[in-house]
Amino acid sequence: MKKLIAGGTVCAGALVVAAILVPAGIHGEPQSPDTENVIVVVIDGLRCYEAFHDSPASDYVRCMRDSLDPYATRYQNFWNNGVTQTLGGHLTLGTGTWQLMPNSLTYFGPDEDTVSTQPDKPTLFEYYNKAKGYGPSDNKAVYVGGKSWNDTLMCSVDPEYGRSDGGKVVIFPPHTEDWENVPGDTATYRVLINSVLGPHHPNLVLVNFKDVDKWGHKADTLDTTGTDDDYYRAIEVANSLVWELWKWIQGDATYAGKTTLIVTTDHGRHDDQHGGFWHHGGICHGCRHTFLIAAGPDTPSNTVVTRCAFQIDICPTVGELLGFWYPHARGSALSEMLDFDLSHQTGTNYGAGSGDVRVTSTDSISVSPQIASSSTGDTLHVVYVDKSAGKCEVKYKRSTNLGTSWGPDSTLSTGDELDSQLPSVCVLGDTVDVVWMGCNWHTDPTGAPLPDSVPRWYLYHCRSTNAGGSWGTRRAIQGSKYEQSPVRDKPSWSIWDPSVSRYGSSVVGISVCCTGSRRTRTR
């Protein structure tokens, strides 16, 4: 009988120091799980309905369903709450932060793309190599895939990490070859086994099987090179390759009994109510709802976890398995799949000077601070994201003596939000305005979740009229837009990165990014 876990404690994330907010605690000594190697397989663009959305799971994934699942822990309620495209999805699971990157490529050399697609936060490759003293040429942390990335997934632009700590990238075939003639996932699998795992035995590998996404797009009736059956066949091939990889791991002397395999997808595809599986990039259930399966020496077998978990949780989970610290990640390690005590749940006060004043005191993380002052400069107002309650919440503090001491915190976001990020604050007289991004289930006008609801990002606003002494009701003033037909035009958009300012005594200006552009709204 399969073990079902409905809840589960959401573990506190690693501590990050940012600006004036200094978290408490010292990060613990690494634990000693049995896992020495982690292989993450991303089946690009596998929609939940062709995978594990229903019970029993689809026949298209019968190898994973019937053969791997009995050894594994599966997260049934797993979500991509960021950009449901290949680049954004991979960078999100690789960094543990929501990375809203467009699908663009970056190469070294004269043909380098003018749009940098490197993430602003370190990747799991950088965390691992820096912790262990390795570099790309040591072949210890490797990306293998049929999609042509180079520095995009290899390393970030974070000045404390970067290319010298990045992973090795093995692209098959090279990006100079024509996309239409790229061999399929079976060829990528052979390169993975014969050119990477077999000769080098790296400790950390991320592999991309691209054909499900490729043939899903080609099934569009405007494209004469593919059919629906090609999409379904690609799923069956990727599914069988995952099982072949698991069997190969168990037969290899270096990997057997010491390797955790994680299987997931970077994004889904439009559900039938929003255009069908030909395309993706929206916020519908089909695009956002994904899955994760993990099997290995530290992972319970035959277990299904039904609580909400997210792509940003993958990087911290790999960090726990391989014993590296992940200070910039915003997700939480997937504790239900880890049969050992977590070690990297608190952080250090690095960056704090001897004369600095602690603003927060938490055994979790306090990040993304924004500060504003009164016109006289004596009252300081700070908003930030705090994870003490197990999920990210927006909090507020003030100092009335130039920052010498700080009052108690106020929680501006509410308990029903799944996630809260990116607060911004402005002050005019005694009026303090705060905006932030909050993730919540899409509901009808009565507040009840809609059928097949999805987590959706909303722009929230809250105001104090007595200099932060008390706060009014927080209001959702804009939500991400659902895709509409024809979905191949990708007419959906997500909002992100809000900022707030005041114009005179009564007008509030709020600026947000919408799928690469910035829009301003006043109220």
- For the cut 50, the answer to whether the pLDDT of residue 368 exceeds it is yes
Strands 475-479 and 455-464: antiparallel
Q: Count other C-beta atoms under 10 Å from residue 66's C-beta.
A: 13
Question: Mind listing the pLDDT tens digit for each residue in 111-155?
Answer: 444 455 788 899 999 999 999 999 999 999 999 987 766 567 889
Tell me, what DSSP letter sits at residue 156? Answer: -
Which H, E and C letters describe 221-286, residue by residue? CCCCCCCHHHHHHHHHHHHHHHHHHHHHHHHCCCCCCCEEEEEECCCCCCCHHHCCCCCCCCCCHH
Q: Count other C-beta atoms under 10 Å from residue 397's C-beta.
A: 21
Show the domain range for 310.
Answer: 3-7+27-337
Please state, in angstroms and rounded to a whole number, the distance separating the CA atoms of residues 383 and 369: 6
Residue written as token pair 């956002």:
288
Same domain flag for 324 and 371: no
Q: What is the pLDDT of residue 454?
A: 74
Strands 366-373 and 380-386: antiparallel
Same domain flag for 371 and 320: no
The residue count for the chain:
523
Same domain flag for 319 and 443: no
Same domain flag for 288 and 375: no
pTM, whole model, 2 decimals? 0.81
Determine, yes or no, domain membership for 12.
no
Please state, in angstroms and rounded to a whole number, the distance separating the CA atoms of residues 285 and 267: 11
The total number of structural domains that make up the chain: 2
Q: What is the pLDDT of residue 90?
A: 93
Determine, yes or no, domain membership for 15.
no
The CATH number for 476's domain is 2.120.10.10
Backbone angles phi, psi at 40, to 5 degrees: -105, 120
Which of 320, 337, 354 is where one domain is finished? 337
Confidence of residue 509 (pLDDT cuts 50, 70, 90): confident
**What's the token pair of residue 238?**
């990727």
Confidence of residue 40 (pLDDT cuts 50, 70, 90): very high
- For the cut 50, the answer to whether the pLDDT of residue 25 exceeds it is no
- For the cut 70, the answer to whether the pLDDT of residue 506 exceeds it is no
Q: Count other C-beta atoms under 10 Å from residue 365's C-beta.
A: 30
**What's the token pair of residue 468?**
């932060």
Please state, in angstroms and rounded to a whole number, the distance separating the CA atoms of residues 180 and 177: 9
Determine, yes or no, domain membership for 16.
no
Same domain flag for 31 and 87: yes
Q: Virtual CA dihedral for 352, 356, 362, 363, nearest 10 degrees?
A: 30
Confidence of residue 503 (pLDDT cuts 50, 70, 90): confident
Same domain flag for 400 and 295: no
- For the cut 50, the answer to whether the pLDDT of residue 369 exceeds it is yes
The CATH number for 179's domain is 3.40.720.10
- For the cut 50, the answer to whether the pLDDT of residue 348 exceeds it is no
Q: What is the pLDDT of residue 365?
A: 76
- Residue 453 CB contacts under 8 Å (≥ 6 apart), including other chains: 285, 441, 442, 443
Q: What is the pLDDT of residue 489?
A: 53
Partners of 309 in beta bridges: 78
Determine, yes or no, domain membership for 343.
no
Q: What is the pLDDT of residue 453?
A: 66
Same domain flag for 320 and 371: no
Cis, peptide link before residue 70, omega less than 30° from 0: no
Q: What DSSP element (H or E) covers 291? A: strand 289-295
Backbone angles phi, psi at 366, to 5 degrees: -130, 115
Determine, yes or no, domain membership for 32.
yes
Confidence of residue 434 (pLDDT cuts 50, 70, 90): very high
Average pLDDT of the residues in 340-346: 72
Lowest mean pLDDT among 103-112, 217-226, 279-288, 319-328: 103-112
Q: Positive or negative CA dihedral for 26, 29, 30, 31? A: negative
Same domain flag for 399 and 447: yes
User: Taking Cα atoms as reference points, which of 433, 452, 434, 432 lies closest to residue 442?
Assistant: 452
More confidently predicted of 455 and 88: 88
- For the cut 70, the answer to whether the pLDDT of residue 352 exceeds it is no
Same domain flag for 384 and 301: no
**What's the token pair of residue 80?**
């991509």
Q: With contact defined as beta carbons under 8 Å apart, do 151 and 163 qualify?
A: yes
**What's the token pair of residue 236?**
């069956």
Q: With contact defined as beta carbons under 8 Å apart, do 42 and 242 qualify?
A: no
SS3 443: strand
Q: With contact defined as beta carbons under 8 Å apart, do 424 and 369 qualify?
A: no
Average pLDDT of the residues in 241-263: 98
Percent of the chain clearing pLDDT 90 (strictly above): 52
Strands 309-310 and 73-79: parallel
User: Taking Cα atoms as reference points, which of 395, 322, 286, 399 lies closest to residue 140?
Assistant: 322
Mean residue pLDDT of the chain comes to 83
Which of 319, 337, 355 is where one domain is finished? 337
Determine, yes or no, domain membership for 359.
no
Calculate the alpha carbon distances from 419 to 80, 90, 121, 385, 523 in Å. Answer: 12, 20, 19, 10, 24
Same domain flag for 429 and 308: no
Tell me, what DSSP letter sits at residue 388? Answer: T
Calculate the alpha carbon distances from 353 to 14, 191, 357, 513 in Å. Answer: 21, 50, 9, 34
**What's the token pair of residue 33?**
């799980």
Q: Count other C-beta atoms under 10 Å from residue 299's C-beta.
A: 24
Query: Which amino acid is it at 363?
Result: D
Determine, yes or no, domain membership for 510.
yes
More confidently predicted of 180 and 326: 326
Lowest mean pLDDT among 144-153, 171-180, 299-308: 171-180
- Helix residue spans in 119-184 (DSSP H): 124-132, 151-154
Same domain flag for 372 and 291: no
Same domain flag for 51 and 181: yes
Determine, yes or no, domain membership for 417.
yes
